[in-house]
């Protein structure tokens, strides 16, 4: 049975604006800082509170009070009208509300301080909060503009239970100046309603026991069901204020009167209809974590815990007869920032020591700050991997792939995955199309290279023009100049005539004429260099043939 945690951050635009403009009062940093946001500590980002008309500057001085002591609102422009997008607690207490015209609000509260609303920054902060919540669960989904869903199935025991996990999450958010409410239930719908409308006995968290979501939500207002606006407005007019009242009504009449979406939301909250959540990361069971009583920051400690985390996930993989190709170790700092370090394997594996040797050289990119308190590890591209018994004669029984794989892994992790590859043949006689790039240790292609038509070890992406001299027009060159250096040809083989593949899509009629025919020669110069050059075009046509170099033999 799934367990869903819903987090709601009320008044999110005000919260994020205050965090982006700390004014020197919020010294701590949390997970909400978006990329490019200024550091805390009093430095403003240049966006000072502006007037309702957007002209910049504070609306009112406040008679000697600081801006933080005055009511505050964020403004947006709608069809040429400035309106309140969000208000803080002081403004709300003075009867101001979102959607109100800025001019009316200023008439009611002359000392109202305003600033421009930045929805993009709010979204970026919510995504940053979502990434930070990976420490609690690998499956985190963004819920609207101010909430998150966490699939915590099977992860709450790491905190000592669901209540401890909720308490830890809300305590951290509160420490960073983020007011939030949270709830846990079997369904996203029930958790959403409890987080926003549950009384919680004075707390900001609520937990519906497994299978008890009906009893947990029946006293909530109908708005807790995430109904459409029309249904949410109509139901109270008919005296239907609580979810329990809807549960007692005939479903057919309820659907006919308020639409199928109403019954669907009801079923989703009760767990009788599925609801798909879109997680920022693909949900995966191959996740583990290590938490520390004291934050760590020493390089040797980071290397040690990286090895321990990899040993955890590799032990799970081995127990289930699986291996993986991608591993990610994430270091979570005290201030909420996370530093992922990734390693890939050429072949699926689960050797923790080997993976640690790939991860450790990259740890210099991890800035521990005031300390790392949690390390998470993910495994990707998980596939079955049969256990193999070591041969008694050890090294003599090791295959070429097994000895080559560690070297390939080091090269891939140091140079990049796209820079280490193997060229496999492809069914085409045009040189540019006759090979494809594959992973170094992928299974060999069904068809091998044609020994009757050798190809250079290094084939240029684009042929380079050369000047060549031949005794007679159709003979191979006796001398050519490439990149300003003259080469005298000692031996030559060819030609191998290649034309365009007219049957392929995209090859036009003009691409298959005599001017596109190539005569390739394998030549060797006096210094022993071996080149693959070709003459494009035929003699006797309007355009004179041209010489090109296309590759180098070993």
Q: CB within 8 A of 303, min separation 6: which ones?
A: 356, 359, 360, 363
pLDDT of residue 406: 80
**Phi, psi of 485, rounded to the nearest 5 degrees:** -115, 135
Among 155, 138, 164, 200, residue whose Cα is nearest residue 8: 200
Note every long-range contact of 325-329, with CB atoms under 8 Å and residues 24 or more positions apart, other chains counting. Answer: 325/349, 325/380, 325/381, 325/383, 326/379, 326/380, 326/381, 327/355, 327/359, 327/377, 327/378, 327/379, 327/380, 328/377, 328/378, 328/380, 329/359, 329/375, 329/376, 329/377
CA 61 to CA 412: how far, in whole Å?
60
CB 213 within 8 A of CB 269: yes
State how far Cα 329 lies from the chain centre.
15
CA 265 to CA 275: how far, in whole Å?
9
The torsion angle over the Cα atoms of residues 87, 91, 97 and 100, rounded to 10 degrees, is -90
CA 219 to CA 148: how far, in whole Å?
23
CA 322 to CA 315: how far, in whole Å?
10
As a whole number of angstroms, the longest Cα–Cα distance in the chain is 103
Q: CB within 8 A of 109, min separation 6: which ones?
A: 71, 91, 94, 96
CB 504 within 8 A of CB 517: no
State how far Cα 71 lies from the chain centre.
38
pLDDT of residue 7: 93
Return the structure tokens found at 509: 């009629």
Residue 84, classed as helix, strand or coil, is strand
Could you list the pLDDT tens digit for every one of the 554 residues in the chain? 789 999 999 989 999 998 888 764 433 444 444 433 333 333 334 333 333 333 333 333 344 455 667 889 999 888 888 999 999 888 888 888 998 898 998 888 888 888 999 999 999 999 888 888 888 888 889 998 999 999 988 888 878 888 899 888 998 888 888 889 999 999 999 999 999 988 755 555 688 888 888 888 888 998 999 988 888 888 888 888 899 888 888 888 888 888 888 889 999 999 888 888 888 877 678 888 888 888 888 989 999 999 999 999 999 998 888 889 889 998 988 877 888 898 888 788 888 888 998 899 888 888 888 889 889 898 988 888 876 655 555 555 555 556 778 888 888 888 877 888 888 888 887 888 888 888 887 877 777 777 888 888 888 888 899 998 888 777 888 899 988 899 999 988 878 888 877 777 666 666 666 667 888 999 998 888 999 999 888 777 777 788 999 888 87
Among 252, 265, 257, residue whose Cα is nearest residue 223: 265
Angle formed by the axes of helices 229-237 and 251-258, to 10°? 120
CA 173 to CA 113: how far, in whole Å?
26
User: In 219-364, where does DSSP find H-type helix?
Assistant: 229-237, 243-247, 251-258, 260-270, 299-319, 352-359
Among 185, 269, 256, 198, residue whose Cα is nearest residue 227: 269
CA 451 to CA 69: how far, in whole Å?
83
Give exposure, 509-527, as e/b (b: 16+ Cβ within 10 Å).
eeeeeebbbbbbbbbbbee
CB 550 within 8 A of CB 538: no
CB 375 within 8 A of CB 329: yes
Q: What is the dihedral sign for C-alpha 16, 337, 136, 177?
A: negative
CB 348 within 8 A of CB 283: no
State how far Cα 334 lies from the chain centre.
22
pLDDT of residue 40: 38
CA 436 to CA 417: how far, in whole Å?
15
CA 205 to CA 100: how far, in whole Å?
31
Q: CB within 8 A of 134, min separation 6: which ones?
A: 140, 281, 330, 338, 376
pLDDT of residue 368: 87
Q: What number of CA atoms fall less than 13 Å from residue 198's CA on the CB side?
A: 28
Among 273, 279, 302, residue whose Cα is nearest residue 290: 302
Among 301, 327, 336, 486, residue whose Cα is nearest residue 409: 327
Q: What is the CA radius of gyration of the chain?
A: 34
Return the structure tokens found at 191: 């958790």
CB 511 within 8 A of CB 503: no
């Amino acid at each position: 049975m799934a367990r869903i945690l819903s987090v709601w951050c009320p008044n999110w635009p005000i919260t994020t604006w205050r965090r982006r403009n700390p004014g020197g009062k919020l010294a701590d940093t949390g997970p909400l800082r978006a990329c490019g946001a200024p550091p805390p500590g009093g430095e403003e980002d240049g966006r000072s509170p502006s007037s309702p008309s957007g002209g910049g500057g504070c609306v009112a001085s406040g008679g000697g009070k600081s801006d933080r002591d005055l009511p505050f609102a964020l403004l947006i422009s709608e069809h040429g009208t400035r309106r309140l997008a969000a208000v803080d607690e002081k403004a709300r207490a003075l009867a101001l509300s979102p959607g109100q015209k800025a001019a009316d609000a200023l008439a009611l509260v002359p000392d109202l301080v305003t600033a421009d609303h930045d929805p993009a920054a709010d979204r970026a902060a919510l995504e940053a909060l979502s990434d930070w919540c990976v420490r609690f669960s690998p499956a985190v989904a963004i819920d609207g503009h101010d909430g998150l869903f966490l699939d915590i199935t099977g992860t709450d025991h790491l905190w000592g239970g669901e209540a401890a996990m909720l308490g830890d999450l809300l305590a951290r958010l509160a420490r960073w100046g983020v007011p939030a409410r949270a709830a846990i239930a079997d369904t996203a719908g029930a958790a959403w309603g409890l987080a926003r409308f549950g009384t919680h006995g004075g707390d900001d968290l609520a937990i519906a026991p497994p299978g008890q979501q009906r009893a947990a939500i029946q006293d909530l207002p109908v708005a807790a069901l995430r109904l459409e606006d029309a249904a949410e407005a109509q139901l109270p007019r008919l005296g239907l204020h609580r979810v329990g009242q809807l549960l007692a009504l005939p479903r057919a009449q309820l659907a006919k009167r308020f639409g199928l979406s109403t019954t669907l939301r009801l079923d989703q909250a009760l767990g009788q209809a599925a609801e798909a959540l879109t997680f920022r990361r693909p949900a995966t069971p191959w996740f583990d974590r290590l938490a520390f009583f004291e934050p760590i920051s020493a390089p040797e400690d980071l290397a040690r815990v990286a090895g321990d985390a990899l040993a955890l996930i590799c032990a799970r993989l081995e127990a289930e007869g699986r291996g993986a190709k991608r591993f990610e170790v994430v270091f979570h700092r005290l201030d909420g920032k996370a530093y992922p370090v990734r390693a890939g394997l050429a072949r699926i594996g689960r050797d923790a020591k080997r993976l640690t040797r790939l991860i450790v050289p990259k740890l210099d990119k991890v800035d521990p700050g005031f300390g790392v308190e949690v390390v998470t590890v993910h495994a990707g591209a998980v596939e079955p991997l049969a256990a193999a018994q070591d041969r008694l004669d050890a090294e003599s029984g090791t295959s070429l792939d097994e000895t080559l794989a560690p070297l390939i892994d080091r090269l891939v992790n140091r140079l990049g995955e796209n820079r280490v590859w193997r060229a496999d043949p492809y069914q085409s006689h045009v040189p540019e199309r006759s090979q494809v790039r594959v992973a170094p240790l992928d299974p060999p292609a069904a068809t091998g290279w044609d020994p009757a038509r050798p190809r250079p070890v290094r084939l240029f992406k684009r042929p380079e023009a050369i000047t060549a001299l031949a005794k007679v027009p159709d003979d191979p060159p006796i001398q050519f100049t490439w990149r300003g250096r003259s080469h005298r040809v000692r031996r030559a083989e060819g030609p191998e005539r290649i034309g365009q593949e007219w049957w392929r899509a995209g090859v036009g009629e003009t691409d298959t004429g005599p001017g596109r025919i190539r005569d390739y020669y394998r030549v060797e110069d006096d210094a022993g260099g071996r080149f693959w050059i070709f003459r494009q075009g035929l003699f006797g046509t309007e355009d004179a043939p041209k010489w090109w170099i296309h590759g180098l033999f070993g």
